Structure 1
Amino acid sequence: MARDILAEELERELKPALLRGWRRRCPSCGQGPLFSSYLKVRDECAVCHEHMSHHRADDGPAYLTILIVGHLMAPLLLWTFFEFEPDPLVVATIFTIGCVALSLYLLPRLKGAIVALQWAKRMHGFGGRTA
């Protein structure tokens, strides 16, 4: 019986936490903002006071952003260039703006999801109280 209670205490829902992180909200309560600036994770949630300073997102969000943007934009670039045969300068300009915009959109969302994954799996010091 005590073992079941302990297992429930340790269990944190992964999918809701990832969705909260994607929305740049606290993975614990979903109400407080996760970031104090563009990519700076708050030390503590303003609503539920969950401690966040020990996250270790490091280069993961940047790597995933490059991976996703590259896999979306490279085939689209080739298809556009061979299908419509536009001026290369026009293609370079449009796809540069598209890559930068998509990267700026994805980077904080992927960082939020990685912090939420660490929270849900109790990695890197997130093993404190449950939500």
Structure 2
Amino acid sequence: MTESASPPLPERPWRRAVGRGLRNRCPACGKGAIFGRFLKPASACRQCGEALDGHEADDFPSYIVIIVLGHIMVPTMIEVNSALAIPFAWQAGLWPTLAFVLAAAMIQPVKGGVIAFQWARRMHGFAHRG
């Protein structure tokens, strides 16, 4: 008995895919939107038809945002506090507000990048797709 080997799947460059995902674009064609709503990925690209529902991003984008945000906020808070004498009451409103705004701005691009990376590496639900 001879088994026929399946043809190799086409390569998916992960850097290009992640760049597209960070810009809310389909990792395959770069034209269609990866998200249908703010954090709800589209089931498929409206331009090329590539299925996007195989991702398992789960909480990983949130962890990335928390780590990056911590590396931005902590040094900023230290520098601002050493340079300026901002009253504590103002800081109690300033830093959480800034953290919320930055986190809201970062979460969608980061999730798009994670989904695109999974697509490029054929991880999870993208494993057996051409």
Q: Same fold (TM over 0.5)?
A: yes
Task: Tell me what 2:119 maps to.
Answer: 119
* Cα distance in 2, alignment partners of residues 80 and 91 from structure 1: 10
Structure 1 Cα separation of the partners of residues 101 and 114 of structure 2 = 21
Higher helix share: 1
State the shift of 1:93 in Å.
Answer: 1.7
1:18-57 to structure 2, matched below 5 A, reads 18-57=18-57
Structure 1 runs of 4+ aligned residues shifted over 2 Å read none
Secondary structure, aligned partner of 1:74 = helix
Correspondences of 1:63-74 after superposition (within 5 Å): 63-74=63-74
Q: Which residue of structure 2 lines up, in the alignment, with residue 109 of structure 1? A: 109
Distance 1:97 1:14 in 2: 34
Q: Decide whether the 8 Å contact of 1:34 with 1:45 is kept in 2.
A: yes
Question: 1:125 aligns to what SS in structure 2?
Answer: helix
Q: Distance in 1 between matches of 2:11 and 2:31?
A: 20
What percentage of residue pairs aligned between the two structures are identical?
A: 34
Aligned equivalents of 1:96 and 1:125: distance in 2? 36
**C-alpha separation between the residues in 2 aligned to 1:23 and 1:55?**
17
CA distance in 1, matches of 2:124, 2:46: 21
Unpaired segments of 5 or more residues in structure 2?
none
Give the unaligned 5+ runs of structure 1.
none
Structure-1-length-normalised TM-score: 0.88
C-alpha contact 2:53 2:125 (8 A) present in aligned 1: no
Residue 89 of structure 1: how far off its partner (Å):
1.5
Q: Secondary structure at the match of 1:73?
A: helix
Question: C-alpha displacement at 1:10, in angstroms?
Answer: 3.7
Task: Return the offset for 1:74.
Answer: 1.0
Pairwise CA RMSD: 1.5
TM-score by length of 2: 0.89
Q: In the alignment, does 2:83 pair up with 1:83?
A: yes
How many residue pairs match? The answer is 124
Task: Return the letter of the residue paired with 1:128.
Answer: R
- Once residues 30 and 53 of structure 2 are traced to their aligned partners in structure 1, the CA distance between those partners, rounded to angstroms, is 17
For 1:94, the equivalent position in structure 2 comes to 94
Q: CA deviation at 1:54?
A: 1.5
